[in-house]
Amino acid sequence: MFHSVTDVTHAMQTSVAPVFLIMGAGTLLASMSVRFGRVIDRARVLMDRGQLDWSELRVLHRRARLLRLTIILNSASIFCVALTIFVIFGSLLFSLDLPVVVPTLFSLSVALMIAALGFFIKDFAISLRVFEAQLAACKSPATPTEQIS
């Protein structure tokens, strides 16, 4: 139970780090969702053309599944952080001593975030590899670095 303003202040101070993690994860979630939408839009454009490029559709399908996984992991991370904050306030409100629960939930949220970032980076690697293959297929006389400089 909160016995004083100091208890409430302590609970709020303890919740600051998890709140910042939620803010960062939310921003990352927005970026992941935009990438996912672009992959789906590109697949729809290819399917609407009538002449299907199955190799590109397979890559887009793989990327969409990968991005879906990143979104799920990131959302689970946000959920664990929110649960961490809930437990912090609940333990103070009901005078519960939960020394293992808060660090475990917070560690789980960070681990989920790391996994989401790993898969997000994998999506970037796949899209760059496909782009490089498309550049090579163009058989331009100048390499991309020569054209930029």
Which two structure tokens, joined as six digits, stand for 123?
């999506």
Closest CA to 26 of 75, 68, 66: 75
> Mean pLDDT of all residues in the chain?
88
pTM for the model: 0.82
**Domains identified in the chain, total number:** 1
Write the pLDDT tens digit of every residue in 74-114.
999 999 999 999 998 888 888 888 889 999 999 999 999 99
pLDDT reported for residue 149: 47
Can you tell me which residue has the tokens 């970026």?
31
Q: What would the mean pLDDT of 62-76 be, rounded to a whole number?
A: 98
- Three-state DSSP state, 108: helix
pLDDT tens figures, 6-20:
777 777 777 788 888
Share of residues in the chain with pLDDT > 70 (%): 91
What residue has token string 């993690």? 21
Distance, CA of 58 to chain centre: 22
**Domain enclosing residue 138, as ranges:** 5-148
